[in-house]
Structure 1
Amino acid sequence: MSDRDTRHKQSMQKLKSHVDDKVAAATEQRGLMMVFTGNGKGKTTAAWGTVTRALGYGYRVGVIQFIKGQWECGERERLIEDPNLEVAIMGTGFTWETQNRETDTAACREVWVEAERMLADPEVYLVVLDEITYMLKFGYLDIETVRRAIENRPAEQSVIITGRNAHRDLLAMADTVTEMQEVRHAFNAGVQARRGIDY
């Protein structure tokens, strides 16, 4: 065995020992709260990936889409026939298109009722609050209402929150926070969003 192979084996043995220790220490069983935030692309896509995973095991999943709901969504189109998936959509689309705070607030609060129902249902294994960060930023929902619903959810239920500029209280509550950072985005170079890739 070469010196490089020997060093590699020793390094992998050390890594395995570290991973085994972490696995052994992880003894708590409960639902998680995850936040996918940052200015990079892929937050909603990551959430839909987790939705697919949960559905793959036969779990019930609820998705609330606060902004992109009226837009085409390939993941939603593919999964919507699954009887374990429920999707509720805020009926106004992008807030920069509507430019009407009153109707946007009403639409947000209407779909939030569905979110509260899902967050209170012990049969729902995963709830995704897609782009809810904007609802808090624009004042359509207050943080205390959202925080209370998440904190009082069933112990086995997991929640995913997506969107830029996640509220500090949500970040503090979260078990896992992933920040997606933009390095380069094709749209900024004049490339149109591509069906089946971007949405």
Structure 2
Amino acid sequence: MKPGNPLDSQAWAPEGSETLGRFGDWTITKNDAVITLHSDTRNLAARCSDATMTYMAFIRISDLGSITGRPEVKPPPYFNFTAWADSNEPANFTFLVSYASDAYATGIVVLNPKFADQNTKFWAVLKSARSRFSYRTSNGTISISAVDLSPAIARFQRECFKIFKANAHHRLREPVPLDWLRR
């Protein structure tokens, strides 16, 4: 079954969700062991859960022509874009696309500081934004207010750490399932 639109307000705050904080254009919600930080513009969000022990960043696909992949793979699995914070130097990024009809691409940010991949770099760019966060494809540029993003991310990370810490001892005792290794 195809998952729902990740930036749909019902997906971010389904019935029974608790709003943990509002920071200008940014909202943090909690539903069970899933914490979500999302922009009111529906262009950008981050999520964490005890199931993944990572942050997942979601970005709206603003240009279907920016989705690329190997010809033998259908649908094309990557969304390419350029992003920057404030007036800083732009950097290129590639996020995963699950389905050709998806409106959003996903980057998985590994929390181990030894990893310095492009998703970790994206998270650093997002965290450094003070007034605006922007991203661009050949279709144009989308800018999002980042005025209240820094305190929103700080609160989001504190809330994520709480569920990681509360559930880590269970996760560490469980062996890695063999079917996960075969993916």
Confirm or deny a common fold (TM above 0.5): no
TM, length-normalised to structure 1? 0.29
TM-score, normalised by the number of residues in structure 2 = 0.31
Question: Which has a greater percent of helix?
Answer: 1
Of Structure 1 and Structure 2, which has the larger fraction of its residues in strand? 2
Query: Higher relative contact order at CA 8 Å, sep ≥6: structure 1 or structure 2?
Result: 1
